Structure 1
Amino acid sequence: MFFTYLRRELRRRRKAALVVASGLALGIALVIVVTSVSAGMTQAQGKVLQSLYGLGTDMTVTKAQTPPAEGDTAARPRFRFDAKGEGDADAEQSSDLVMPQGFETLDAATVDKVSGQSGVAQAVGGLSLQVMKVNGQFKRGEFKRAEGQTGGGTAAKPGATGGAGGTGGTVEGGGADFDVNSFSVYGADVTRPELGPLTTSKISSGRTFAAGETDAAVAVVDSAYATKNKLAVDSEVTVKSAKFKVIGIATADSGDAAANVYVPLKQAQTLAGTPDKITTVYVQAKDSQAIGSVKQAIQKNVPDTTVTTSADLADTVSGSLSTAASLASTVGTWLSYAVLLAAFLVAGLLTSSAVSRRVREFGTLKALGWKSGRVTGQVAGEALVNGLIGGALGIGLGLGAAYAITAISPQLTAQLAAGAGRGQGPGGGGGGMMRSAQQGAGKALDIALTAPVSLSTIGLAVALAVAGGLVAGGFGGWRASRLRPADALRRVE
């Protein structure tokens, strides 16, 4: 009897039912779209962060920045060239400078200290280097005598102001012509390949490091750098006169690579002249929900260090990605809540209004023996079915909109703050994640936006549909339960 009456009433009042279902569908669809877009924003930000500090890395530990003493020039890069003899004055000169990025290093033993902290699953050290190669030559100028002067010799030593006998003249030409080439090198702990910047790239040619290649002169080269310098597997790359055999070409998953050249950690320490030194410790926590407490433990128990989490780094990401994420999490969320609340209220009011127009019908049913609870249940059942219909429509609209966003894949720009996390001065401290990705700092990364819909989102939509039906049924049922048969039969629709 219940379902028969329910089916007849829904068919007889299908316009009103469609209005209620459509209002609920709009609110539910908007919630699905906002939720899926927010999930897509989170994934996009995750791709940006992965391109900076490596897959599975929850935080990095670096040397705390110390202000330089007055007059201290130790951190300034210096190039020195040997004096050449008379016959070699125009000879080509070359100098390589290998510097730890940020000029701040930690003892390699810091990795073990960090690994021993509560909540740390694993930690691995790395050494980020910046290589500057200067190559060129000085050229002597040509001495030109003043008009009317005679004398042997046309060449003058640098600094000469006259010819033989002190006669007048000028020095023309000469000078210096030097080419500066800069690239980054990362020393990876080949015994622990699961953490660190190299994990953000995929080996597109050749292979990665083997665990036994700690002392091997081998290198993995970023694909963009390899293309620019015409490098391939089995070719050689030279760093400070040391030759490394290229065993693999790596392609960054997103954005710029963390380094141009990757070598074993021990080899990087030798190049920089910093044995048993590292610049960054990459840390993975046992529980992603306890990253804050792990950070506090490291800061407390490992002195003179700065700990940077992925959340800290996310604050430095700006551009259209950040703007869209802010809109989705604030304006979009509140808008969806407002529309959903309005849909619930409209559904409740329309159901209550429908009860008012069915006064004689419910009065007759009560006179025939229907109890108030049965009348209330009938109204609530109709409202619940309307809610489920609205939920089905809303899920369909929401999935369609999410699919359209994913198919279009609008491009968002993530701008990485060039100075974020690097403190004052060269490289600074407290920005290991940013320093390890110095090539990407200050540049824009294009990220395709998707709108993934999870099962939890579908479950939320179903719950909202049921809730909408119960809200509407509550309004109408309360109104119907107050009807008295005698009063109802005296009223005319």
Structure 2
Amino acid sequence: MFFTYLRRELRRRRKAALVVASGLALGIALVIVVSSVSSGMGRAQDKVLQSLYGLGTDMTVTKAATPTASNSQRPRFQFDARNNGDDSTQSSDRVIVQGFTTLASSTVSKVAGQKGVSSAVGGLSLNVVKVDGQFTRGQFRQNQNSGNGQGGRGAGGGTGQPQGEVRGGGANFDINQYTVYGTDVTKSALGPLTSSKITSGRTFKATETDARVVVADSAYAKEKKYKVGSTVTVKSVKFKVIGIATADSGDAAANLYIPLQQAQTLAGEQNKITTVYVKATDSQQIDSVKSTIQKNVSGTTVTTSTDLAKTVSGSLSTASSLATNVGKWLSIAVLVAAFLVAGLLTSSAVSRRVREFGTLKALGWRSGRVTRQVVGEAMVNGLLGGALGIGLGLAGAYAVTSVSPTLQAQLGGGGGTGGFGGAGGGFDGPGRRAAKTLEVALTAPVSVTTIVLAVALAVAGGLIAGAFGGWRASRLRPADALRRVE
């Protein structure tokens, strides 16, 4: 009887049911789209952070203080005075610890011994500046009137020396700057190299702790025309390219990766590192582990992915803020409006059915039965609105994913620079230039949780509308209802 009457009433009032369902559908669709876009923002930001951090890394530990570089730390290039003809070719490399701050290698074991730390590995980030060029000797040319004795006031005039000038000559030098990261080859599952995929050759072996081998970033290898088997010279030391790595997202952490011991030797920093990469045993306890490390390992700064996220700016940050703040409140406002409209329309429909409900009560229907009938109709309208809303929301999310608008993420704000100074191994990670801009494609993935939320909102909308209408229906008295004309 309940379902028969429900079906007949919904058929008879199709337009009213469609209006209520459409209002709920718009609100639910907006919630789905905003939730999906927010999730896409999160994924885009994760890609950016992975290119900074490395996969599997929960936090980094660096030296707390970053002093200003002194004159002795600035790059200086000394060239020999040679007399081997008109031209003299010169070349000099300067290897600089990024940020000029280091930690003792023993810091890695201290960090690894803290409660909540699953594993820790150290690395040394270096900037290499190579100056390569040629001096060209100028040519002395004598003036044509230098022999007539009238050039006494010129250069050498009155001294019996020839008069003239030096023409040509000079210097032509090229400056090549790149980054090198010394990695602990015995712990390859942690560190910045894990954010890249080996696309040619191989990665390091655990036995190559002091081998002269190098893994090159694919972009840098293409620029310098390196391939597996090529030779790379850093500060007169020749390294063999054993692999080419391509960054999964964003830019690679460094141009070249070499064993940690080799990096320490090149920089003259034995048993020194710039960064400790840390993996926590429980990703939900990262803040607690951060506090523990800062408390027990003095002179260090601990940076988590949450801290890094705060340094990401650009259109990605702006869009994320809009989706999180404006989108959230807009969704709430539309939902509240949709629920109120559904409730008012249902209540208004009850007012127009006064005679109908009065007749039913006169025939023996109790107020509870009438209320259940009204709530049942409202619930069906809510579920219909939920189905329409899910369909519209999925279509909107698909449209965003199909268009894939490109957002820019700017990385910087006090982190490592690619120049001669700046803090290295901190917020910007090893080998990364300040104010680096990355482009990330936006997607709008729809999760099962979002669908469940949409269904819950549809049920809630039906209950709210039914509550309005049921309350009005329960207050009707048969005698008063029968005196009114519909």
The TM-score normalised by the length of structure 1 is: 0.93
Question: Are 1:101 and 2:98 matched, yes or no?
Answer: yes
Aligned-residue offset at 1:165: 5.0
Q: What is the alpha-carbon distance in structure 2 between the residues aligned to residue 257 and residue 294 of structure 1? A: 27
The letter of the residue matching 2:127 is Q
Q: What is the alpha-carbon distance in structure 1 between the residues aligned to residue 94 and residue 86 of structure 2? A: 23
Report the equivalent of 2:428. Answer: 434
Question: Pick from 267, 274, 277: which aligns with 2:262?
Answer: 267
Report the equivalent of 2:461. Answer: 468
Q: What is the alpha-carbon distance in structure 2 between the residues aligned to residue 389 and residue 435 of structure 1? A: 51
Question: Are 1:253 and 2:248 matched, yes or no?
Answer: yes
Report the equivalent of 1:157. Answer: none
Q: Answer with 301-310 or 195-204: which moved more.
A: 301-310
Question: Pick from 118, 121, 128: which aligns with 1:121?
Answer: 118
SS of equivalent to 1:295: helix
SS of equivalent to 1:249: strand
SS of equivalent to 1:432: coil
Q: What is the alpha-carbon distance in structure 2 between the residues aligned to residue 102 and residue 88 of structure 1? A: 41
The letter of the residue matching 2:73 is A
Deviation digits for residues 338-385 of structure 1 (CA, Å, limit 9, x no counterpart): 001000000000111111111111111111111111111111111011
Aligned-residue offset at 1:161: 7.3
Aligned-residue offset at 1:177: 1.8
User: Would you say the 8 A contact 2:53–2:429 is kept in 1?
Assistant: no
For 1:229-378, what aligned pairs fall within 5 Å after superposition? 229-378=224-373
Report the equivalent of 1:139. Answer: 136
The letter of the residue matching 1:24 is L
The letter of the residue matching 1:334 is W
Deviation digits for residues 236-256 of structure 1 (CA, Å, limit 9, x no counterpart): 111111111111111111222
Q: What is the alpha-carbon distance in structure 1 between the residues aligned to residue 156 and residue 456 of structure 2? A: 92
Is the alpha carbon distance of 1:427 and 1:177 closer, same or farther for their aligned partners in structure 2, counting shifts above 3 Å? closer
Q: What is the alpha-carbon distance in structure 2 between the residues aligned to residue 27 and residue 443 of structure 1? A: 39
Number of aligned residue pairs: 479
Deviation digits for residues 208-235 of structure 1 (CA, Å, limit 9, x no counterpart): 1111111221111111111111111112
Question: Are 1:421 and 2:408 matched, yes or no?
Answer: no
Report the equivalent of 2:211. Answer: 216
Q: What is the alpha-carbon distance in structure 2 between the residues aligned to residue 342 and residue 482 of structure 1? A: 25
SS of equivalent to 2:457: helix
For 1:149-228, what aligned pairs fall within 5 Å after superposition? 149=146, 166-228=161-223
The letter of the residue matching 1:90 is D
SS of equivalent to 1:74: helix
Is the alpha carbon distance of 1:315 and 1:473 closer, same or farther for their aligned partners in structure 2, counting shifts above 3 Å? same
SS of equivalent to 1:434: coil
User: Would you say the 8 A contact 2:128–2:179 is kept in 1?
Assistant: yes
User: Would you say the 8 A contact 1:32–1:395 is kept in 2?
Assistant: yes
Report the equivalent of 1:19. Answer: 19
User: Would you say the 8 A contact 1:63–1:429 is kept in 2?
Assistant: no
Question: Are 1:459 and 2:452 matched, yes or no?
Answer: yes
The letter of the residue matching 1:475 is F
Cα RMSD after superposing both structures: 2.1
Report the equivalent of 1:446. Answer: 439
Q: What is the alpha-carbon distance in structure 2 between the residues aligned to residue 52 and residue 442 of structure 1? A: 13
Q: What is the alpha-carbon distance in structure 1 between the residues aligned to residue 33 and residue 327 of structure 2? A: 9
Aligned-residue offset at 1:135: 1.4
Is the alpha carbon distance of 1:237 and 1:290 closer, same or farther for their aligned partners in structure 2, counting shifts above 3 Å? same
Q: What is the alpha-carbon distance in structure 2 between the residues aligned to residue 162 and residue 381 of structure 1? A: 115
Consecutive unaligned residues of structure 1, counting only runs of 5 or more, are 152-159
Q: Answer with 460-469 or 181-190: which moved more.
A: 181-190
Aligned-residue offset at 1:147: 3.0
Aligned-residue offset at 1:431: 5.1
Question: Are 1:38 and 2:38 matched, yes or no?
Answer: yes
Report the equivalent of 2:152. Answer: none
Report the equivalent of 2:479. Answer: 486
Aligned-residue offset at 1:109: 0.8
Q: What is the alpha-carbon distance in structure 2 between the residues aligned to residue 488 and residue 161 of structure 1? A: 126
Deviation digits for residues 290-324 of structure 1 (CA, Å, limit 9, x no counterpart): 22222222222212212222122212211111111
User: Would you say the 8 A contact 1:145–1:163 is kept in 2?
Assistant: no
Report the equivalent of 1:154. Answer: none
Q: What is the alpha-carbon distance in structure 1 between the residues aligned to residue 409 and residue 275 of structure 2? A: 24
Report the equivalent of 1:4. Answer: 4
Q: What is the alpha-carbon distance in structure 1 between the residues aligned to residue 435 and residue 483 of structure 2? A: 78
Deviation digits for residues 388-424 of structure 1 (CA, Å, limit 9, x no counterpart): 000000001101111111111111111222x43359x
Aligned-residue offset at 1:89: 7.0
Q: What is the alpha-carbon distance in structure 2 between the residues aligned to residue 40 and residue 373 of structure 1? A: 46
The letter of the residue matching 1:141 is G
Aligned-residue offset at 1:175: 2.1
Report the equivalent of 1:53. Answer: 53
User: Would you say the 8 A contact 2:99–2:424 is kept in 1?
Assistant: no
The letter of the residue matching 1:191 is T
SS of equivalent to 2:71: coil
Report the equivalent of 1:82. Answer: 80
Report the equivalent of 1:29. Answer: 29
SS of equivalent to 2:389: helix
Report the equivalent of 1:156. Answer: none
User: Would you say the 8 A contact 2:98–2:431 is kept in 1?
Assistant: no
The letter of the residue matching 2:19 is V
